[in-house]
Amino acid sequence: MSKPRSIAGKIIKILLFLLFFGGIVAAVAGWWLLYKPNVNTNTSSVLFIRTNATYQEVLDSLAKNGMIASIKSFDLVARQMNYPKKIQPGRYLLNANMSNRSVVNLLRSGQQTPVNISLDGLHTLTELVAAVHPLIEADSAQLATLLSDTAFLQQKNLNPTQLIGAFFADTYQFNWNTSAEQFFDRMYKIYANFWTDENLEKAKALGLTQFEANTLASIVTWETAKTDEMPKVARVYLNRLAKNERLHADPTVIFAVGDFTIKRVTKNHTQINSPYNTYRNFGLPPGPVRTPNKAAMEAVLNPAEGDYMYFCAKEDFSGYHNFANTYQEHQINTQKYHDELNRRGL
C-alpha cells in the first residue's frame, strides 16, 4: 500500500507546483498588463476626447495616432477598471512610458491639461474666433453664431459693435472641452465684475458711459504697452474730448483702413471715410478698436492730472512717450524723434 500512496503524493506535489507556478505566471501577466509602459512615444502626446465620446472613439483615437503600443492590453485593463462607463471629455497629456493603469487612471480622473488662450491684440470678432476656436472644443461656426446673436447679446446689454471691448486682453487658461457658451460666460463674468458701481460712477464723472470707457481703453491699450504711462495717454484723449477737439488717434485710422500691419499712419490713411476715423470725426469711434487690457481700463477711469494735449514716441526708442501741453512743445518732441529716426537710417 505504500507505493500507491507515494505516487499520489508525487501527483499532489506536482499539482501544487503547477498551481503555484501558474499563480506566479498569472501574477506576472497581471503586473505586465497593469504596469508595463504602453505609451508608444519618447515624448509626450496629447489625446483629445470630445464631449459624449464613446469608448470605441477613445480606442480609435489612441490607435489612429499611434499613442498606445498595445491597444489590446489597454482595452483589457480599461474594461477591468470600468473605464468605458467613466469617460471624461478633455485634453490629456500622455507622458512617455506611462502604463495602462496610469493612462486609465488619468482618463478616468478628468484631470486634463488646460490650454492657454491669449486675447491680446485682437481687433475684430473674426480675429477673436480665429484665436479661440483651435484651442477649445467649440468650433468657429459655434463661436461666430453666438457672438453675432443680437438677441443673446441684448440680454447682456451688449451689441456686436461694442462686443470686442468685453474681452479683456490677457492670457486665460481653459479646459479644452469648453463650449462657445462656457467661453463667453466666463469672459463676460470677468467683464461684468470689473464694472462695479464704483467704476460706473467714475466713468460717469468723466462724462463717459461704460461702453465709451471701453472704447477709449482700447485706444490707450493700442497706443502704449507701458502701463505706468497709460494714465497720461488717457488724460490726453479726455482733454481733447473735453475741448471738443478731434482725437487724431492713429489706432482708429488703422482700424478704419483694416490693415493691422500698418506701422506709420500717412496723410492718405487719415482721409478714409469711416466713422472710426478720428482724424475726420469728432468724439469717440462707434466701438472699441481692439481688446482693451485692464491696466488701460483703470487708466481711463483714473487718469493722470494735467493739461496734456499731445504725445509723441520718445527719441530713445524705449517705448515711452514725451507729453506736451501745447502744439509748439509737441513739435519740438516730434522733431527729436524724427531726427533720431534719420540718424539711425530708419
What cell does 290 get? 481692439
Dump pLDDT digits (tens) for 126-182. 999 999 999 999 999 999 999 999 999 999 999 999 999 999 999 999 999 999 999
Delimit the domains of the chain by residue range: 1-31, 36-113, 116-194, 203-308
pLDDT band at 345 (very low <50, low <70, confident <90, very high): confident
Class of domain 36-113: alpha beta
How many whole angstroms separate alpha carbon 161 and alpha carbon 154? 12
Dump pLDDT digits (tens) for 193-226. 999 999 999 999 999 999 999 999 999 999 999 9
pLDDT of residue 234: 99
Q: Specify the pairing of strand 45-49 against strand 90-94.
A: antiparallel
pLDDT of residue 32: 44
pLDDT of residue 326: 96
DSSP secondary structure, 223-252, as one string: H-S-GGGHHHHHHHHHHHHHTT-----HHH
Using CA atoms, how far residue 6 sits from 11, 14, 288, in Å, is: 9, 12, 97
pLDDT of residue 38: 59
How many whole angstroms separate alpha carbon 47 and alpha carbon 41? 13
Cα 58 vs. chain centroid, distance in angstroms? 26
How many whole angstroms separate alpha carbon 292 and alpha carbon 217? 6
pLDDT of residue 95: 87
Where is average pLDDT lowest: 61-65, 146-150, 163-167, 231-235?
A: 61-65
pLDDT of residue 64: 85
**How is the chain split among helix, strand and coil, in percent rounded to 5?**
55, 10, 35
Give the pLDDT mean for 29-46.
60
Q: Is 294 exposed, middle or buried (0-12, 13-18, 19+ CB in 10 A)?
A: middle
